[in-house]
Chain A
Amino acid sequence: MNWHTAIVNFVTWFVMCYFVALNGGYLLLNLMSLRTLRRRGQEQFLDDLPRAYLGLEPPVSILVPAYNEEATIAASIRSMLQLTYSEFEVIVVNDGSKDGTLDVLKREFALLPFPEAYRRQLATKDTRQIYRSTLHPNLRVIDKANGGKADSLNAGINASRYPLFCGVDADSILERDSLVKVTEPFLRDPTVVATGGTVRVANGCEVSGGFLTKVGLPRNIWALFQVVEYLRAFLFGRLGWSNINGMLIISGAFGVFRKDAVIAAGGYRPDTIGEDMELVVRMHRLLRAKGQPYRVEFVPDPVCWTEAPEDFRTLKNQRIRWQRGLAESLTANWRLMFSRNGGVPGWLAFPFLMAFEWLGPLIELGGYAFMIVAFFTGAISWQAFAAFMLVAVGLGILLSASGILLEEMSFHIYPKGKQLLVLGLVVLLENLGYRQLNSWWRLVGLYRWATQKEAAWGTMKRKGTWQRETSQ
């Protein structure tokens, strides 16, 4: 065997083993999620029983950062004010919007300036004015200079009254009992510092009065791909890690945090795109370093719905941004990896994300490119090339199918047989181009991260055709 063949052999097997390890790792997480979802299913009928509030549930501050959201902000806030929970407040942070977001809020909620004794626990951009609603005593609005989403969340934390806060995207559609479900782990275990809920794709669904009224699948192919992706990412990606206290990501669209733990960690970092993930990784790092017992938990119930991008450009930009956020979060917290007290987050979850999410696109696309070039130059046989494609695509399909299995075992929110069939087809299709395209976008994200461009609010082209506004 000459050196040329040796290199080809090595790279070939490295790439194949990488694909097997990547998908095998996720399948393992899938198995771990099975048990949790089964137990969850057994308890589900308890949730349907009439609930008596004793006034002892931890009160929650809902923080809603808003930047140029004049079209949807009033409906979103109205639906948040109708959530089922014993005690909560809603704090909207207008981050120097250039449109009429503040005017809409003033008009719709009868806001009046309030002489708030503002408590500055985390540094933020200047606060211009704090308003209080004369219609809803539990609604306040902070108007501040533009500083980004993380800065807005920090301002919200400063103004919040309660021991738990819930970060919500202004365009999120929440289930009426979402707070009850996501605060449940805090009641069960006093060491819980953060919980995240499942986010589902709202495209194709019907929304009325700020709440989801009918679940459906989108017609748009990009949105359909994302339905399967979200199932995979949440039902076993996060739930699997949560079982072993290794969850490093809580979606910014809906997550609940213990306020004192977040302030002790220094709050959200304004100079990063992935402020939600960065905070969670940093909390793991700092709490591990202190040796303090804690848990970060995931709630598998679908509690939050979000509009997924339906056009190529918006989706591409979103994925690029996510990859940059991931890279920033991991590199800002290197010291967690293989640290002495690192435990599951430091010794398993962090290296896993490093190898398969951070460097993943590089190796995946590099692998595909190498195999194609090697095949056409005759460096590998067609059998070896076919075997590689079979492993890469076959395991990908298996992984996506297992996401649908978990969904069917637990929540089965897509009740029609036709919907199941469509999801099955999407599982096949997404592995034949979309997944590879996604890897390309993530590679671009990695490049952009390496070239360090400035962080900013992500812009999202919203269609909102599924949203039917009701007059209030």
Chain B
Amino acid sequence: LAHNTLSDPFVAAAFWTGLGALALTILLSLQILRLRLALRRNERVEARALAKWRPVLHAVVVGEAPQLPVLAANERLPFLKLWVHLQASLRGEAADALADVARNLGVDASARAMLERGRRGERLLAALTLGHLRDRQAWTPLLRAAGQPDNALALTAMWAMARVDGQAAADHILPRFIESGDWALSRVAGVLQEAAGASAEALQRLLPTLPETSLPRALRIAEALRVALPAPVLDGALRSHHVDVLVAALRNVATPDALDAVRSLAGHANWQVRVQAARALGRIGERTDVETLAELLGDREWWVRYRAAQALADLAALYGEALEAVRARLSDRFAADMLAHVMAEKELA
């Protein structure tokens, strides 16, 4: 390369690569500038829209009936964001009045169009709007959106469906939630709680028909929704040979009817089952269960000992037994330490 010049193809390639990089940098800089100008423009439009609509919507919220201005096309998105934000924090008459305003402005029709043809962000906003409006005409497009692989959009659409028609939504959504372990339980519960009664009924109908493989997920959903399980379903689950089913079933135990089954599971080979058995005994146990829990205090697993100590504290409080007396009887150091730990926690609480 000692005497190579730009006519040499390699030097030329390097030169043009460097020059290309600098040219691209200039283009990037222009793009950054364009984005910044667009951002400023959008901020101005949004600020104007908010200044116009916030007083109107606030007046509606406090029960007034202000004259509605015209909703300009470029105000639609900031208006919807403000409207959805207010709806999310309101209930009752104020929320209904806001919904009437939206319908009077034709927001329902434009939201349906946005859900079908909008960009992704607009579709999310449209699904939220239609859910708050409980818009029955939006059922079919919402159903389509709920089937999309885009999780955020699908979940938002399902939430809206639950608000539009709780019964139909529960029948449609629940089997899907049970089958798909990919949906986080908190999200699932958040959607189903919009139609809590219908979801509970649908779950109670579904549970006896489910195969054992689907039971853990269904039982966790039941727990999240605080659904009282049909006795045969819970009894069957508590006799299962599958650890996941047992754990999920024990978490649902809420009445003393299941006490015998719970006591028998306190000695289960799997520690996760023993943990849940200890917790269940804390909820429904009797005076005689103090001994079972004291035994669990000596378990080799830390979590079993911890939950047993907590359950023991709950039962002791219930039956007026002094925890110190139980502690004095313990010969296992680990058991005594754990009880001291939980007693100190209770004192601090």
- Interface stretch of the complex, out of A98-106, A386-394, A463-471: A386-394
Chain A neighbourhood of B270, CB < 8 A: none
Residue numbers of B with Cβ under 8 A of A are 1-6, 8, 10-11, 14-15, 17-22, 24-25, 28-29, 31-32, 35-36, 39, 81, 84-85, 88-89, 119-121, 124-125, 128, 151-152, 156, 181-182, 184-187, 189-190, 193, 224, 302, 305-306, 334, 337-338, 340-341, 344, 348-349
Q: List 5 A-B contacts (CB under 8 A).
A: A50-B88, A56-B189, A114-B348, A137-B348, A190-B184
Chain B neighbourhood of A392, CB < 8 A: 18
B182–A395 CB distance below 8 A: no
Chain B, Cβ-Cβ closest to A51: B88
A412 at the interface (CB under 8 A from B): yes
A402 at the interface (CB under 8 A from B): yes
- Interface stretch of the complex, out of A36-44, A147-155, A213-221: A36-44
Chain A neighbourhood of B31, CB < 8 A: 405
Chain A neighbourhood of B302, CB < 8 A: 117, 119
- Interface stretch of the complex, out of A7-15, A222-230, A433-441, A442-450: A7-15
Q: In angstroms, how far is the closest chain A Cβ from the Cβ of B72?
A: 20
Across the interface, B340 reaches (CB within 8 A) one of A115, A383, A387, namely: A115
Q: How far is the CA of A114 from the CA of B345 in the complex (A)?
A: 8
Count residues of A near B (Cβ-Cβ below 8 Å).
63
Known: A380-B2, A381-B1. A408 touches B36 (CB 8 A): yes
- 11 other A-B residue contacts (CB within 8 Å) besides A116-B341, A187-B187, A401-B29: A9-B1, A23-B21, A46-B128, A115-B341, A117-B302, A187-B186, A387-B11, A394-B19, A397-B25, A404-B28, A420-B36
A57 at the interface (CB under 8 A from B): yes
B189–A54 CB distance below 8 A: yes
Q: In angstroms, how far is the closest chain A Cβ from the Cβ of B62?
A: 19
Q: In angstroms, how far is the closest chain A Cβ from the Cβ of B227?
A: 14
* Most chain B CB neighbours (cut-off 10 Å) among A117, A190, A378, A391: A117
Q: How far is the CA of A129 from the CA of B45 in the complex (A)?
A: 59
Q: In angstroms, how far is the closest chain A Cβ from the Cβ of B12?
A: 8
Fill in one digit per residue for A186-208: 1 if any B CB lies within 8 Å of its CB, else 0. Answer: 11111000000000000000000
A409 at the interface (CB under 8 A from B): yes
Chain A, Cβ-Cβ closest to B5: A383
Q: In angstroms, how far is the closest chain A Cβ from the Cβ of B144?
A: 19
Across the interface, B28 reaches (CB within 8 A) one of A52, A383, A390, A402, namely: A402
Across the interface, B181 reaches (CB within 8 A) one of A190, A384, A420, namely: A190
B1–A187 CB distance below 8 A: no
Known: A45-B81, A397-B25, A424-B29. A117 touches B14 (CB 8 A): no
Known: A380-B1, A387-B18. A134 touches B185 (CB 8 A): no
Chain B neighbourhood of A132, CB < 8 A: 344, 348
Q: Shortest 8 CB-CB distances between A and B: which pairs?
A: A390-B18, A42-B121, A394-B21, A56-B186, A387-B14, A187-B184, A394-B18, A117-B341
Chain B, Cβ-Cβ closest to A404: B32
Across the interface, A388 reaches (CB within 8 A) one of B14, B156, B348, namely: B14
A8–B21 CB distance below 8 A: no
A372 at the interface (CB under 8 A from B): no
B184–A394 CB distance below 8 A: no
Fill in one digit per residue for A44-64: 1 if any B CB lies within 8 Å of its CB, else 0. Answer: 011011101010110000000
B14–A134 CB distance below 8 A: no
A397–B22 CB distance below 8 A: yes
Q: How far is the CA of A147 from the CA of B338 in the complex (A)?
A: 27
Across the interface, A43 reaches (CB within 8 A) one of B124, B186, B306, namely: B124
B35–A409 CB distance below 8 A: yes
A287 at the interface (CB under 8 A from B): no
Q: In chain A between 338 and 372, which residues have their CB closer than 8 angstroms to a CB of chain B?
A: none
Q: In angstroms, how far is the closest chain B Cβ from the Cβ of A156?
A: 16
A43–B121 CB distance below 8 A: yes
Across the interface, B119 reaches (CB within 8 A) one of A12, A42, A134, namely: A42
Q: How far is the CA of A213 from the CA of B119 in the complex (A)?
A: 33
Chain B, Cβ-Cβ closest to A49: B88
